Structure 1
């Protein structure tokens, strides 16, 4: 199965920059582009599916609630 999480170049660069900023501010460590890219790849591969599935589940719950609302507005026959 193809990885469901695909990033464009802009998103990837922003995430790499965020990781570098985090490491610099929170850990007082410099994280190079290669290391940050590899860490991002790990996060996407290992943790991404968990977040992705949580989003799918939340969407499913939301849609089910809205479908129930839709049935609630049916015109009742007499």
Structure 2
């Protein structure tokens, strides 16, 4: 499920990638080839970052649920047993 970037996001990324190639590699990239490079890396790297985000969310949810469970036990009223 590829994510569609807004025009502003794509323009920003194109500028950043072009700047990186110019400063670090002394190469000039055109807009079209830069957009293709971004699309390639998005397709190849995107699932790894997405899956990591899902795992991080799952971990956070489990921590919150555990904390909530602890809080619910604190709310329980003690029951006195008759002898």
> TM-score scaled by structure 1?
0.89
Q: Which residue of 1 aligns with 2:76?
A: 76
Are residues 1:10 and 2:19 paired? no
Structure 2, unaligned stretches of length 5 or more?
79-83
Task: Measure, in 1, the Cα distance between the counterparts of 2:10 and 2:50.
Answer: 17
Partner of 2:24: 26
Unpaired stretches in structure 1, ≥5 consecutive residues: none
RCO higher in structure (CA 8 A, sep ≥6): 1
Q: Which of 53, 56, 64 matches 2:54?
A: 56
Rounded Cα–Cα distance in structure 2 between residues aligned with 1:6 and 1:61: 27
SS at match of 1:35: helix
Superposed structure 1 runs of 4+ greater than 4 Å apart? none
2-side partners of 1:57 and 1:24: how far apart?
35
- Between Structure 1 and Structure 2, whose CA radius of gyration is higher? 2
**Whole-Å separation in 1 of the counterparts to 2:10 and 2:55:** 25
The count of corresponding residues between Structure 1 and Structure 2 is 76
